[in-house]
């Protein structure tokens, strides 16, 4: 075709990026890659390799080593050996290594971009303009944290050896998200890239060599799911960081239930994309393009559920279709292609199957007239309208360029529909009205909310989900904490079988002359004077004393076997009722921080007033000295969290865009707390108070040692204006109540601070809704030491960070 | 692999040509997604529409930014696009030191924007590439008309107290009439920015309506002076009012404002054009003016037109680039395409 003809048609024509350099890089490696272990390339122990393909044409790119348990073991061993030296380096030296990696990524940016596109199928303009620059940014940002670590996190330590498993949708970016914060905080890593896309991680291994990173600090073992499983189950790994499907995340949680490995999970999503009638509709449509047609829709935070206000649904659908018609789908190495290839045949099949199912369930399918390349794995941009919330395409993650559209009538309904999902990764809100957009953003259950923008990422902003989208954050200060452990906790001894308290501070407290118990009231023990008036300790549910469903009570005995009293024997139905009550406690969860503080102060006031009486009864279980100390420190603890209630602020991050990115600390929701045995009152307050202070509602199970404390506590709450349902107390056999709480799908977090076995049980039984689990890992916590037993560490676990991005400009 | 893609593109192009044929048969001047559109005759002022206009600055800027990164043309396609850009240029001189002789030189360049030798090398003799129009002050309209006689290139005159537009209305209207009488076929008018700042949409509508009437058969291009209006919402609203009042073209800038034609401003305006076409069935042209100096910029603007409005808006009847220096850079790029060597500005005849 001549220039003259092209002058008439004005088509774009091909604009291919040259893959020559990437191909010669592959040739230099003879198109065969071993594992990167201990700073060198090591052949797989079993000698097996698998092929990695270019999804744009189905051709083989290279052979990659299939990792086995033996390879994982070698890598973990190398990481363990490298750990002491690496963590002992000064933060500044670690910062230099990360800085060098950032520089190297930039120096080799085009090779990495082309390689990524060849291996994954994403358009070169995305790998070139989005993925690789973010990789460099991530290393730069964390080089900064490495430098500042000692000043900013003085009481924290690295976890140790971290096993990291990443997905195929952003291969190098996910590697950077994992490796940079881990190394910055002094951990060593074993990374397993996704089977479909190992190449850029291996190129990164080369950059680690070039940067002179000490051997064993970063190891890369390639392979399939079985390789990942071996890493997850390796006993010498201290933490697992996983990004991938919710299904696999659940399996990892289960597999690790019996260990004390830290775990962070970044899982799936079905993110809502809400468009209000007062939005800039043309821009919102472009937002959708960046949302669901970014990376072929293979994005965990893709805005895959379109929620349109009814009044604009029709014109909006028209605009979306028009825009879909100008999307260019084709060979991803072409610089003017919007939609490249789906990563693999299996994924393409899944997309086709799910769309078919959606249509069968009544959805209307629309696709623009596009000619797909004859070879390779391609799927056209797809709009499914008339989708109902019940449809599979509205519920399940498709992970393809498929948008499911629904309508809503009011902002309230938009929120309800948006939150009608087991996921909670991201959400978009489009409205020109700041009141509407921020009000809706605040109510969305999602770790990231983009207002009038989509899929913006930056190393400085935490990314991660609510609900079954996982736990933990990546990026920002909040992401760093995933790779740090309080130094004292790392050293904390295993909790002994007895509930005897060995706190040096307890002795100190007693010596320092804490007010002693006065004995002016008559002792009403069994053997003296007239029989005491029987005091029935009931359950405390929804702000009312409640008889147990079972109709039974259980005996409570002192350490030497005397009967101290009886408490209600709560069962699963009582837990059910308590969770329902907690759910309804909006007077508390929506109260202002100031008001919550007022109520907590009032609790402290009333506890102080009833001090002697409670010390007297508590002392029968733990002795007078401990009882007095528990009470006095308990008052202080309540004061601490009353003080914190309006001070546990979020942050405003500084991503390189013109916007404000607000990191809000939000309560997790309904928290189930299994209280420690060794300090019946102080332990209870140390966990329940931080949870309440930030606006959670709580179901607490007091220790079996002395559940009689319940009656004192509910009288305390009743007289302190604590709204009903904010705190619910269920006594009974802890193991049974733990099971019901951990399995309950309407409980958002389970905290278990008894023994190691209970901690494991809590983890194993929480996988149903992947609730956040926090335990003492069976370690002893000195509840009498405010340095360890109160403060930010507790508040961090009581909250989850929501990042709200609000670009501005006129 | 690209073969398939090209085939698809060609199919689309053929389909598009069919659309055009149908459109011409129906007496329309363009199509938008298959729908034939008439020339703009204006509609009554619809204040609700004006008030409902939204433009989210950050999102518009992002789209403008990424679009440039998402689209590129190479090799023969690039040459074809650059030639197309030439045919959309309103070759302009609007300086205090303009003289008749300077205008005649400009007109000579307009007739023959590329050297004969280059035309032969590119094998585009059949295209008879010329610029879209020559744009001058009223004083030079007659000179330009004479200089362009027989070329088919229209003369455009800036009018209505250009660039500030603050002379008395009667004088501004008289100015239009004088230019039309002198032979100008296109009139570039400026609006009273104060009407936009004051939200005086009726006043703005009336002003442009009067201008339109005065233009008679000449095409009216309404300059919004986006560099003065500043906010994208102002630009969007002014675009809508100008179209309602009967603008044949809406134009970004005078070239005399602090900031000239930017892609975000252009994006807001072409989106308004699209909306107007969909609502009324009438096609309004778009002119980007001021600060467009490089061949690359002209490709970015063409790509925006293709993405947002389609092929009819990549041609002179509905798309213009107001520029003076641009042509030289395009010529250099074309010569590079023809010879493989980078060219120098002194090798190409100046205007």
| Alpha-carbon gap: B52 to the closest alpha carbon of chain A (Å) | 8
Task: Tell me the C-alpha to C-alpha distance, in Å, between residue A648 and each of A593, A692, A786, A798.
Answer: 10, 13, 17, 11
Residue B319 structure tokens: 């798309």
Same domain, A178 and A211: yes
User: What does the pLDDT read at residue A704?
Assistant: 86
User: What does the pLDDT read at residue A521?
Assistant: 42
Quote the ipTM score.
0.92
Whether omega before A428 lies within 30 degrees of 0, making that bond cis, reads: no
Residues 132-151 of B with CB under 8 A from A: none
Asked whether the predicted pLDDT for residue A58 surpasses 80, the reply is yes
Query: Which of A208, A241, A267 is at the close of a domain?
Result: A267
Has residue A744 been placed in a domain?
yes
Residues 6 or more apart whose CB falls under 8 angstroms from that of A228 comprise: A165, A192, A248
Q: Are B321 and B351 in contact (CB under 8 A)?
A: no
User: What does the pLDDT read at residue B116?
Assistant: 93
Q: The tokens 């402290």 sit on which residue? A: A604
Query: Total domain count for chain A?
Result: 3
- The CATH code for residues B40-73+91-98+133-325 is 3.20.20.70
Same domain, A242 and A300: no
The percent of residues above 70 in pLDDT, for chain B, comes to 93
Q: Are B157 and B135 in contact (CB under 8 A)?
A: yes
Q: What is the pLDDT of residues A553-582, one digit of tens each?
A: 999 988 888 888 999 999 999 999 999 999
| DSSP letter assigned to residue A130 | I
A810 or A765, which is more confident?
A: A765
Same domain, A664 and A788: yes
The candidate with the shortest Cα–Cα distance to A665, out of A556, A553, A795, A769, is A795
Neighbour-count burial of A110, counting CB atoms closer than 10 A to its CB (0-12 exposed, 13-18 middle, 19+ buried): middle
User: What does the pLDDT read at residue A529?
Assistant: 62
pLDDT band at B330; cut points 50, 70, 90: very high
User: What does the pLDDT read at residue A524?
Assistant: 43
| Closest Cβ–Cβ partner in B63, B73, B127 for A12 | B73
Same domain, A175 and A277: no
Q: What angle do CA A255, A257, A260 make, to 5 degrees?
A: 115
| DSSP letter assigned to residue A310 | G
Has residue A522 been placed in a domain?
yes
Asked whether the predicted pLDDT for residue B4 surpasses 70, the reply is no
d(CA B157, CA B215): 11
Strand spans (E) along A422-465: 426-430, 448-451
Helix A91-107 to helix A171-184 angle (10° resolution) is 160
Query: Which of A421, A447, A464 is at the close of a domain?
Result: A464
Q: What is the pLDDT of residues A371-414, one digit of tens each?
A: 999 999 999 999 999 999 999 999 999 999 999 999 999 999 99
The candidate with the shortest Cα–Cα distance to B67, out of A432, A56, A326, is A326
* Residues B302, A278: C-beta atoms closer than 8 Å: no
Strand partners, B249: B221, B285
DSSP state letters, A711-723: HHHHHHHHTTTPP
Same domain, A363 and A498: no
Q: Once rounded to an integer, what is the mean pLDDT over residues A249-275? A: 96
Q: Are A686 and A794 in contact (CB under 8 A)?
A: yes
The torsion angles phi and psi of A371, rounded to 5 degrees, stand at: -95, 120
Same domain, A524 and A645: yes
The candidate with the shortest Cα–Cα distance to B144, out of B216, B203, B90, B207, is B90
Q: Are A705 and A677 in contact (CB under 8 A)?
A: yes
Q: What is the pLDDT of residues B75-90, one digit of tens each?
A: 999 999 999 999 999 9
| Closest Cβ–Cβ partner in A3, A280, A338 for B54 | A280
Q: State whether the Cα torsion A248-A254-A255-A259 is positive or negative.
A: positive
The whole domain housing A137 covers 20-43+57-267
| DSSP letter assigned to residue A311 | G
Interface test with B, best of A1, A2, A14, A128 (most B CBs within 10 A): A14
Q: 3-class SS at A392? A: helix
Task: Check if B99 contacts A (Cβ < 8 Å).
Answer: no
Residues 254-313 of B with CB under 8 A from A: 271, 302, 306-307, 311
Active site residue B75: no
* Residues A283, B232: C-beta atoms closer than 8 Å: no
DSSP state letters, A217-261: SEEE----HHHHHHHHH-TT--EEEEES-HHHHHHHHHHTTTS--
Q: Once rounded to an integer, what is the mean pLDDT over residues A54-77? A: 98
Q: What is the pLDDT of residues B216-275, one digit of tens each?
A: 999 999 999 999 999 999 999 999 999 999 999 999 999 999 998 999 999 999 999 999
User: What does the pLDDT read at residue B6?
Assistant: 44
Has residue A114 been placed in a domain?
yes
The torsion angles phi and psi of A362, rounded to 5 degrees, stand at: 110, 0
User: What does the pLDDT read at residue A523?
Assistant: 45
User: What does the pLDDT read at residue B27?
Assistant: 79
Has residue A219 been placed in a domain?
yes
| Alpha-carbon gap: B226 to the closest alpha carbon of chain A (Å) | 13
* Residues B70, A338: C-beta atoms closer than 8 Å: yes
Same domain, A253 and A312: no
pLDDT band at B7; cut points 50, 70, 90: very low
| Alpha-carbon gap: B344 to the closest alpha carbon of chain A (Å) | 23
Q: 3-class SS at A556? A: strand
Which residues of chain A are within 8 Å of residue B231 when distances are taken between CB atoms? 810
pLDDT band at A498; cut points 50, 70, 90: low
* Residues A14, B83: C-beta atoms closer than 8 Å: no
Same domain, A282 and A236: no
Same domain, A634 and A727: yes
| DSSP letter assigned to residue A779 | B
Interface test with B, best of A5, A6, A341 (most B CBs within 10 A): A6
Q: Are A56 and A296 in contact (CB under 8 A)?
A: no
d(CA A474, CA A482): 8
Q: What is the pLDDT of residues A104-141, one digit of tens each?
A: 999 999 999 999 999 999 999 999 999 999 999 999 99
User: What does the pLDDT read at residue A717?
Assistant: 97
Q: Are A677 and A702 in contact (CB under 8 A)?
A: no
Has residue A644 been placed in a domain?
yes
Active site residue A453: no
Q: What is the pLDDT of residues A325-362, one digit of tens each?
A: 999 999 999 999 999 999 999 999 999 999 999 999 99
d(CA A771, CA A762): 10
Same domain, A229 and A348: no
Asked whether the predicted pLDDT for residue A530 surpasses 80, the reply is no
Same domain, A433 and A534: no
A500 or A69, which is more confident?
A: A69
Asked whether the predicted pLDDT for residue A7 surpasses 70, the reply is yes
* Residues B1, A286: C-beta atoms closer than 8 Å: no
pLDDT band at A742; cut points 50, 70, 90: very high
| Alpha-carbon gap: B11 to the closest alpha carbon of chain A (Å) | 10
The candidate with the shortest Cα–Cα distance to B65, out of A13, A290, A319, is A290
Strand partners, A60: A53
Q: Are strands B285-289 and B319-323 parallel, antiparallel or unpaired?
A: parallel
Which residues of chain B are within 8 Å of residue A452 when distances are taken between CB atoms? 56, 58-59
- SS3 per-residue string spanning chain B: CHHHHHHHHHHHHHHHHHHHHHHHHCCCCEEECCEEEEECCCCCCCHHHHHHCCCCHHHHHHHHHHHHHHCCCCHHHHHHHHHHHHHCEEEECCCCCCCHHHHHHHHHHHHCCCCHHHHHHHCCHHHCCCCCEEEEEHHHHHHHHHHCCCCCCCEEEECCCCCCCCCCHHHHHHHHHHHHHCCCCEEEEECCHHHHHCCCHHHHHHHHHHHHHHHCCCEEEEECCHHHHCCHHHHHHHHHHHHHCCCCEEECCCCCCCCCCCHHHHHHHHHHHHHHHHHHCEECEEEEECCCCCHHHHHHHHHHHHHHCCHHHHCCCCEEEEECCHHHHHHHHHHHHHHCCCCCHHHCCCC
* Residues B1, A373: C-beta atoms closer than 8 Å: yes
Strand partners, A667: A799
Q: What is the CATH number of the domain that holds A398?
A: 3.40.309.10
Asked whether the predicted pLDDT for residue A525 surpasses 50, the reply is no
The percent of residues above 70 in pLDDT, for chain A, comes to 96
Task: Check if B61 contacts A (Cβ < 8 Å).
Answer: yes
Mean pLDDT of chain B: 93
The torsion angles phi and psi of B47, rounded to 5 degrees, stand at: -65, -30
| Alpha-carbon gap: B154 to the closest alpha carbon of chain A (Å) | 22
Query: Which of A251, A267, A283 is at the close of a domain?
Result: A267
pLDDT band at A30; cut points 50, 70, 90: very high
Q: What is the CATH number of the domain that holds A101?
A: 3.40.605.10
Q: 3-class SS at A51? A: strand
Same domain, A610 and A752: yes
């Amino acid at each position: 075709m001549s220039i003259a003809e092209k002058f008439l048609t004005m088509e774009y024509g091909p604009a291919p990026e040259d893959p020559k350099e990437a191909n010669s890089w592959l040739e230099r490696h003879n198109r065969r890659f071993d594992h990167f272990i201990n700073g060198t390339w090591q052949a797989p122990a079993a000698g097996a390799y698998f092929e990695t393909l270019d999804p744009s044409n189905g051709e083989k790119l290279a052979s990659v080593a299939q990792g086995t348990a033996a390879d994982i073991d070698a890598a973990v061993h190398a990481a363990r050996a490298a750990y002491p030296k690496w963590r002992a380096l000064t933060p500044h030296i670690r910062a230099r290594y990360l800085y060098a990696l950032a520089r190297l990524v930039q120096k080799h940016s085009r090779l990495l971009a082309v390689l990524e596109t060849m291996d994954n199928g994403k358009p070169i303009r995305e790998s070139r303009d989005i993925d690789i620059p973010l990789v460099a940014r991530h290393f730069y940002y964390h080089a900064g944290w490495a430098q500042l670590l000692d000043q900013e996190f003085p009481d924290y330590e690295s976890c140790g050896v971290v096993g990291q498993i990443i997905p195929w949708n952003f291969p190098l970016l996910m590697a950077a998200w994992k490796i940079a914060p881990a190394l910055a905080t002094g951990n060593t890593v074993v990374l397993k890239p996704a089977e479909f896309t190992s190449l850029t991680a291996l190129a990164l291994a080369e950059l680690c060599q070039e940067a002179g990173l000490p051997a064993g600090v970063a190891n890369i073992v390639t392979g399939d799911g079985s390789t990942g499983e071996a890493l997850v189950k390796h006993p010498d790994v201290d933490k697992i960081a996983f990004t991938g499907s919710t299904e696999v995340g659940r399996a990892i949680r289960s597999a690790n239930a019996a260990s004390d490995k830290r775990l962070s999970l970044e899982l799936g999503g079905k993110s809502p994309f809400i468009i209000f009638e007062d939005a800039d509709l043309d821009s919102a449509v472009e937002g959708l393009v960046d949302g669901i047609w970014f990376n072929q829709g293979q994005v965990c935070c893709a805005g895959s559920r379109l929620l349109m206000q009814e009044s604009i649904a029709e014109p909006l659908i028209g605009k979306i279709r028009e825009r879909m018609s100008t999307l260019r789908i084709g060979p991803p190495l072409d610089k003017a292609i919007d939609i490249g290839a789906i990563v693999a045949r299996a994924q393409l099949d899944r997309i086709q199957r799910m769309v078919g199912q959606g249509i069968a369930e009544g959805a209307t399918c629309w696709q623009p007239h596009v000619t797909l390349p004859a070879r390779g794995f391609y799927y056209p941009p797809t709009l499914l309208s008339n989708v109902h919330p019940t449809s599979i395409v509205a519920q399940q993650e498709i992970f393809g360029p498929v948008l499911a559209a629904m309508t809503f009538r009011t902002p309230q309904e938009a929120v309800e529909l948006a939150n009608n999902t087991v996921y909670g990764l991201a959400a978009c809100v489009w409205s020109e009205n700041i009141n509407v957009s921020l009000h809706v953003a605040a109510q969305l259950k999602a770790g990231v909310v983009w207002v009038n923008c989509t899929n913006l990422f930056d190393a400085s902003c935490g990314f991660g989900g609510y609900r079954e989208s996982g736990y933990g954050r990546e990026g920002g200060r909040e992401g760093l904490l995933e790779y740090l452990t309080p130094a004292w906790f790392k050293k904390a001894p295993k909790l002994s079988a007895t509930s005897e308290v060995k706190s040096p501070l307890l002795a100190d407290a007693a010596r320092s002359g804490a007010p002693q118990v006065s004995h002016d009231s008559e002792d009403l023990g069994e053997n003296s004077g007239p029989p005491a008036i029987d005091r029935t300790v009931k359950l405390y549910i929804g702000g009312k004393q409640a008889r147990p469903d079972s109709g039974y009570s259980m005996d409570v005995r002192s350490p030497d076997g005397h009967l101290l009293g009886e408490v209600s024997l709560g069962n699963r139905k009582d837990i059910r009722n308590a969770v329902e009550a907690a759910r309804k406690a909006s007077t508390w969860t929506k109260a202002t921080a100031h008001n919550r503080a007022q109520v907590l102060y009032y609790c402290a006031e009333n506890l102080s007033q009833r001090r002697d009486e409670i010390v007297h009864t508590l002392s029968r279980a733990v002795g007078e000295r401990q009882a007095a100390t528990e009470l006095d420190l308990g008052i202080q603890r309540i004061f601490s969290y009353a003080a914190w209630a309006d001070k546990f602020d979020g942050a405003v991050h500084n991503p390189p865009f013109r916007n404000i990115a607000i990191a809000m600390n939000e309560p997790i929701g309904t928290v189930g707390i299994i209280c420690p045995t060794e300090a019946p009152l102080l332990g209870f307050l140390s966990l329940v108070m931080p949870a309440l202070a930030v606006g959670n509602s709580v179901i607490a199970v007091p220790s079996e040692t002395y559940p009689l404390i319940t009656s004192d506590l509910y009288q305390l709450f009743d007289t302190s204006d604590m709204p009903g349902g904010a705190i619910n107390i269920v006594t009974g056999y802890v193991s049974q109540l733990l099971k019901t709480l951990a399995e309950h799908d309407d409980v958002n977090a389970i905290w278990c601070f008894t023994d190691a076995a209970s901690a494991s049980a809590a983890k194993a039984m929480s996988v149903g809704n992947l609730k956040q689990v926090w335990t003492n890992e069976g370690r002893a916590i000195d509840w009498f030491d405010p340095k360890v037993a109160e403060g930010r560490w507790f508040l961090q676990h009581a909250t989850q960070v929501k990042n709200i991005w609000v670009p501005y400009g006129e | 692999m690209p073969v398939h893609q090209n085939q698809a593109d060609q199919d689309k192009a053929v389909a598009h040509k069919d659309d055009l044929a149908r459109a011409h048969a129906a007496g329309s001047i363009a199509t938008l997604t298959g729908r034939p559109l008439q020339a703009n005759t204006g509609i009554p002022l619809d204040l609700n529409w004006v008030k409902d206009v939204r433009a989210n600055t950050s999102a518009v800027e992002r789209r403008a930014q990424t679009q440039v990164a998402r689209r590129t043309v190479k090799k023969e396609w690039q040459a074809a696009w650059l030639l197309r850009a030439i045919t959309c240029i309103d070759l302009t001189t609007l300086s205090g030191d303009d003289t008749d002789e300077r205008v005649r030189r400009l007109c000579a360049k307009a007739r023959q924007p590329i050297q004969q030798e280059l035309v032969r090398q590119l094998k585009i003799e059949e295209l008879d590439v010329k610029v879209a129009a020559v744009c001058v002050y009223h004083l030079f309209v007659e000179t330009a008309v004479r200089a362009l006689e027989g070329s088919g290139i229209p003369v455009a005159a800036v009018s209505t107290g250009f660039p500030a537009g603050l002379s008395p209305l009667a004088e501004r209207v008289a100015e239009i009439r004088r230019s039309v009488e002198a032979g100008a076929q296109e009139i570039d008018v400026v609006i009273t920015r104060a009407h936009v700042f004051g939200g005086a949409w009726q006043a703005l509508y009336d002003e442009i309506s009067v201008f339109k009437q005065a233009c008679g058969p000449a095409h009216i291009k309404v300059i919004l002076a986006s560099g003065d209006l500043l906010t994208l919402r102002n630009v969007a609203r002014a675009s809508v009012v100008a179209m309602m009042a009967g603008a044949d073209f809406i134009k970004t800038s005078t070239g005399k404002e602090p900031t000239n034609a930017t892609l975000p401003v252009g994006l807001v305006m072409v989106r308004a054009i699209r909306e107007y076409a969909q609502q009324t069935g009438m096609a309004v042209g778009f002119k980007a003016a001021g600060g467009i100096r490089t061949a690359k910029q002209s490709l970015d603007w063409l790509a925006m037109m293709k993405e947002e409005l389609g092929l009819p808006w990549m041609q002179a009847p509905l798309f213009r680039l107001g520029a003076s220096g641009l042509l030289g850079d395009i010529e250099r790029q074309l010569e590079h395409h023809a010879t493989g060597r980078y060219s120098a500005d002194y090798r190409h005849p100046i205007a």
